Amino acid sequence: MNMTPMIDVVFQLLIFFLTVSQVSRVNTEVLELPRLPGAEDQQTTSLTVNLNAAGELIVLGEKQSMSAVLEIARERIGSVGGEASLMTTTLRVDRRSSSRPVNELVTALRGLGITRVRIGVESPQ
């Protein structure tokens, strides 16, 4: 029995999962999230915005201004068929940060027609 094709498939799956896990890490910053019981369902997110304790917005591992984040959101709206109501945005906010940037961002996203905004929390244990 020739095992070469099976070994090739296993290596391809290994490479795939390593690549996917790297992309997931880019979207998340090390933040101290609020400890609250949250929903267990993890739906796919079109855009993940991190807000650190200093009030800086971080998207895809880079610090962004509010206008740059809104431009990225506009691009993502195009990727979901131009329908802003179908886009899901996750805000990961450090619990030591001010609520002002969060309110400004949610208001600006709402102005683009994005109504599905989730706040990331850390589950208490």
Domains of the chain: 4-120 (3.30.420.270)
Lowest average pLDDT, out of 9-13, 35-39, 48-52, 82-86, goes to 35-39
Indicate left, alpha or beta for 65 from its phi (over 0: left) and psi (-120 to 50: alpha): beta
| Six token digits for residue 118 | 């989730």
How far apart CA 17 and CA 36 sit, in angstroms, is: 30
Higher pLDDT, 103 or 26: 103
Q: If you average pLDDT over every residue of the chain, what do you get?
A: 81
**Which pLDDT score is estimated for 61?**
83
Read off the pLDDT of each residue in 1-11 and give the average, rounded to a whole number. Answer: 87
**Which pLDDT score is estimated for 60?**
83
**Which pLDDT score is estimated for 97?**
86
Is residue 106 within 8 Å of residue 114, measured between CB atoms? no
**Which pLDDT score is estimated for 109?**
92
**Which pLDDT score is estimated for 80?**
79
**Which pLDDT score is estimated for 1?**
79
Read off the pLDDT of each residue in 60-70 and give the average, rounded to a whole number. Answer: 90
